[in-house]
Structure 1
Amino acid sequence: MPRSRRKGHEQDVEKLVRELESASGVGTQDIGEAGLDKNPIIKITKVVLQGALERRASEIHIEPMTKGVRVRCRIDGILHEIFSMPRYVHAPLASRIKVMAEMNMAERRIPQTGQIHVRFGDTDFTLDVSTIPTTLGEKFAISVSAKKDALIGLDNLGMEPAQLQALRDLAQSRSGLIVVCGPRDSGRTSTTYSLLAELNTVERQIVTIEDLVACGLPGVNQVHVNRLAGLGYLAALDAFSMQGADVIMLDLIDGPNTANAVLGAAQDRLVIAGMNSESTVESLINLVEMRVDPWLMASGIRGIISQRLARRICDKCKQDDDPPLEVLTALGIGEEIINKPDGGKIAYFHRGVGCDSCRQTGCSGQIGLFELSGMSPDLRARIGTEVDLNDAAKEAIAGPNLRQDAAAKVFSGIISAEEAVRAVS
């Protein structure tokens, strides 16, 4: 987004804050809900949300501070402060967001959740809103999701050809478990939704069980987990299994009971499930530590995808780079790969120096880094034994491992060396 437009948003907020102060006649005092029906607070909320969406934010955090209100957005995985407002704006802003999210406006003592549906440009967004009371007032976290972001397609995730073909082969299995693992904000939703979209045919009954449904998938039965009503992961798994689902997607294996139920269901249907683990080996170790039946693991797991998101170099400020040797070494790139014996260069590197288009970050957009492991006979045999899994897991990787994939994207000029190290560390 051009810097002039970003500056315009900031000026709009400042102007609207002054209007709110004038309309309420309260100066810097907390106006509570007095300004809720005044036009300025509606406009302030709109400008804040619009500013976040224009910046491609995946999260919006509205935080009460001692002397003000801070609005931060997570853009390409990194938090940036985009607005700062006087303290007295917090209460009416909180009330306005609660109204939009159909939450209890009067309740400030306990956490709440709600949802807002908005259209910006030609894109429909779902904003999942959560609140939590702090010593300075309610903090709001708003998770932003759009169908076009979740359904970018397997070909556009950033996988190497060998990885992509291996994943498509795994997805043709009639039964078994495909684990998609990675830390928070690693792109698991885009991978699982893109995989489901490719599997979605009239011959297959596909269902999803999610804590928060990221977006609607035509032809797919989706369930939003409601633990208070007794609809948790286990209840939904049992119900869909009884209804003969061909493919089940569960967004998170959250404990031993869920893990055993998922692997049990995977004996006669394809299951795709997420895990909060860092690598293929860690996923297997976590399942072992959950005391999951070793036979179910060995017979049920078809493959594990480990992934991260890295920030792309901004094309508008891309320049040559000479990263420190220790950064390259961390990616497994030795000096013999970089320099010729006569002193010439073999490899060239790039980075973004920062411009108005990328908010001086040097980065614009994200791309996935992947490691895909199948289940070799040796790896299956080691599950449930005291034998170390590392060597067998490394041999089962189809294509590059996570660090090698990051290095390949550095050589291709897609990401900088420093960003690659940050993403895989």
Structure 2
Amino acid sequence: MVTFDETKSNKMVEELHKKEEEELANILSSKYNLQYIDLSRVPINTDALQLINEDTAKAAEMAIFNKVGKKLSVAVRSPNKEEAVSTIKELEDRGYSITSFMVSSASIERAVSRYKDISHSVEAKSGVLDISGEDIKNTLNELKNINDARKVIEETLKIKKSYRISKILEIILAGGLSSEASDVHIEPEEESIRLRYRLDGVLIDITNFDQETYGLLLSRIKLTSGLKLNVKNKAQDGRFSIKIDQDDIEIRTSILPGAYGEAIVMRILNPETIALPMEELGIEKKLFEILEKEIAKPNGMILTTGPTGSGKTTTLYGFLKKVQTPGKKIITIEDPIEYHLPGIVQTQVDEKNYTFGNGLRSTLRQDPDIIMVGEIRDEDVASTAINAALTGHLVFSTLHTNNAAGSFPRLIDLGINPK
């Protein structure tokens, strides 16, 4: 005889109702030309949430779930509702740029329930991911070596509170900064997610964590980097900044779809590690003397080579600081500008309008003495850079090879005539 389980039946009905509600919200998103999102699958940033109070959120059936600078991600239940329209207008009047998402009432309820997690109001800083200077300093003081970073990250992963994802991201980045990692790798595998740091050009395993944490962390990183949440089968690139005291540390994010999920790489561009004078680069004395003579010449080309994270760009900055004088015009073409040097004209490439190639040609019309090109990537840049070096300019650049000897076959491969 089959017995009726009322509890199980009610749970099934509840799950079916929730599924239908989410499907309806997804359908309505097309009608209003908005992206659909399920807030149970993404982290909610409490700094963003508190830009409007709880009563306003309930009345307007809306919630601000993420903030990057002056850009807000806003979840709405009824886009045409008077309270929602007026609240969004008020936010726009305050200088915010709004991206609206269609959500179900269950998502709004979940967001509103997060107001209880806000113990006090902290004004979010504009233009950057807000990491408390005091918190980051405390974390950095705890992390004396890579094992300390591993321990703190693993302890943070055990936290079960709703706001832990933001904390995990902060700790991962703090660990990277304290160990002077050039990149943070988050790689989905069949049974777990692997976290690695690139230190001195070599990837070091830090820890593994679960798929649920990865899903929330991926959404948090995408939102912070200005990437599309619903795009899962295409590569995406974005960036954000962290402000620690007076330093802005830029993070370049790359997302790549893989067999078990989207692989994440965050490149850390820390001004403190980049801004080393040439004398502190660790160059052997004999080689240092040779380099000093070469960079003092009025023309020619000097290439730094090596694998990812080996210090190519840091070396170029060391050269620039060494040769900089009031009597020389120095122009750089970078992607992005990693460290601001006074007295130097620094430009940043733009994929659509300002590439390394046309940037270099434009630079030659600016009467420069020294040109720094972030990377020689193609035949156009290679030939233009070599012509510049042959016509009275000193050119610094990087080439992606494993060693100095690999520069010659690489340049030939780029179409440069060895004769």
* TM-score range normalised by the length of the shorter chain: 0.5 to 0.7
Amino acid at match of 1:94: L
Match of 2:263? 139
Shift of 1:131: 0.6
Q: Are residue 270 (structure 1) and residue 412 (structure 2) matched?
A: no
Distance 1:86 1:281, change over 3 A: closer
Q: Are residue 53 (structure 1) and residue 195 (structure 2) matched?
A: no
Contact 1:13 1:47 in 2 (8 A): no
Residues 340-359 of structure 1 aligned to structure 2 (within 5 Å): none
Match of 1:113? 237
Amino acid at match of 1:184: T
Secondary structure of the 1:57 match is coil
| Alignment RMSD | 2.3
TM-score by length of 1: 0.59
Which structure is higher in RCO with an 8 Å CA cutoff and minimum separation 6? 1
1:24-43 per-residue CA deviation (whole Å, 9 max, x = no partner) reads xxxxxxxxxxxxxxx22222
Distance 1:5 1:273 in 2: 34
TM-score by length of 2: 0.60
Amino acid at match of 2:373: L
Q: Are residue 14 (structure 1) and residue 158 (structure 2) matched?
A: yes
Distance 1:291 1:138 in 2: 35
Secondary structure of the 2:187 match is strand
Distance 1:137 1:289, change over 3 A: closer
Q: How many residues align?
A: 274
Shift of 1:278: 4.0
Match of 2:378? 255
Secondary structure of the 1:212 match is coil
Match of 1:103? 227
Contact 1:225 1:232 in 2 (8 A): yes
Shift of 1:181: 2.2
Amino acid at match of 1:19: K
Larger radius of gyration: 2
Contact 2:304 2:404 in 1 (8 A): no
Match of 1:231? 354
Match of 2:186? 62
Amino acid at match of 1:253: I
Distance 1:219 1:110, change over 3 A: farther
Distance 1:103 1:175, change over 3 A: same
* Alignment partner of 2:306 out of 182, 193, 196: 182
Distance 1:75 1:159 in 2: 19
Shift of 1:60: 0.6
Contact 2:236 2:256 in 1 (8 A): yes
1:78-107 per-residue CA deviation (whole Å, 9 max, x = no partner) reads 222223222112222111112222223333
Shift of 1:235: 0.2
Contact 1:65 1:87 in 2 (8 A): no
Residues 8-407 of structure 1 aligned to structure 2 (within 5 Å): 8-15=152-159, 18-20=160-162, 39-120=163-244, 124-227=248-351, 229-266=352-389, 267-294=391-418, 384=419
Distance 1:236 1:85, change over 3 A: same
Shift of 1:281: 4.1
Contact 1:253 1:259 in 2 (8 A): yes
Shift of 1:283: 2.0
Distance 1:106 1:222, change over 3 A: farther
Distance 1:82 1:280 in 2: 31
Distance 1:69 1:285, change over 3 A: closer
1:30-68 per-residue CA deviation (whole Å, 9 max, x = no partner) reads xxxxxxxxx222222222222232232211111223333
